[in-house]
Structure 1
Amino acid sequence: MNSEEEEFNFVFKVVLIGESGVGKTNLLSRFTRNEFNHDSRTTIGVEFSTRTLTVDGHLVKAQIWDTAGLERYRAITSAYYRGAVGALLVYDITKHQSYESVDRWLKELYDHADASIVVMLVGNKCDLKDEAQEVPSEEAKGYAE
């Protein structure tokens, strides 16, 4: 363990996965920097950011890895799944196609990550649901269960 990690009681690596354009980068920036950008660019390869939290009196460092959703970066990003203890599988509730790819993303995750990884299914862009919700909440809840 290096000296930087010794300052923390726990260090957890979490990956954000899902199709391009579902909002993974904005989830990362909102969680780590409390920022949101309507015009964020497509992620190339992998980016990561950290946030330190106190949970039950323990200092926890969360390393959140934002993987590119585009097919051409898939080979690059698969190595970044290794060592992750958690994954947020993100889809856009206004684009059913992004939800239809959830099975493929899960397969890729389990092919490259530890079998004990904790996965959370995240329906993103709920601020747009009144305009164009294509994925019913009950459908996604049923799938998650």
Structure 2
Amino acid sequence: MPNVFLSTSESQLEARFADYFIAHIDGQKAVTLRQFYEEIAELLEFPTFGFNLDALNDALNDLQWLEDDRIVLYFTNTVDLISKERDPAKLSSVLNILDATAEDWKWADDDDDLADKKELVLVFEDSPRIRTLLEKENIEFDQL
């Protein structure tokens, strides 16, 4: 199963991932990288967070404070997501961290030091912008 899906309807998402915890990140509330960090930190209840890419990577590779083992990060309004950042490469960096983390969780096993293995899935509301960015970064995706 790929790590990344594009969706055109919330009902598709809810049907496919009915037994997952769905963390909804609205791109209109996360037009800067700082706003994105604030949104994801609140939704995933990060205990501490340094508001930078390294801290995002570290937090997403832990998630032990969450009771749910199966998590969907659902991004809507992807046209707006991190669209007002001065450096447009920041969104690409975030996408690569998200994809790599979801892949890493697939390979974590019970022998690792992790108390609980997690499953992380990324679902983006389909838009030409997000498709172009995923393709540019060679991040594989499927349609829901």
TM-score (norm 1): 0.37
- Which structure has the larger Rg over C-alpha atoms? 1
Q: Compare the two structures and name the one with the higher strand fraction.
A: 1
TM-score (norm 2): 0.38
Higher RCO, 1 or 2 (CA under 8 Å, sep at least 6)?
A: 2
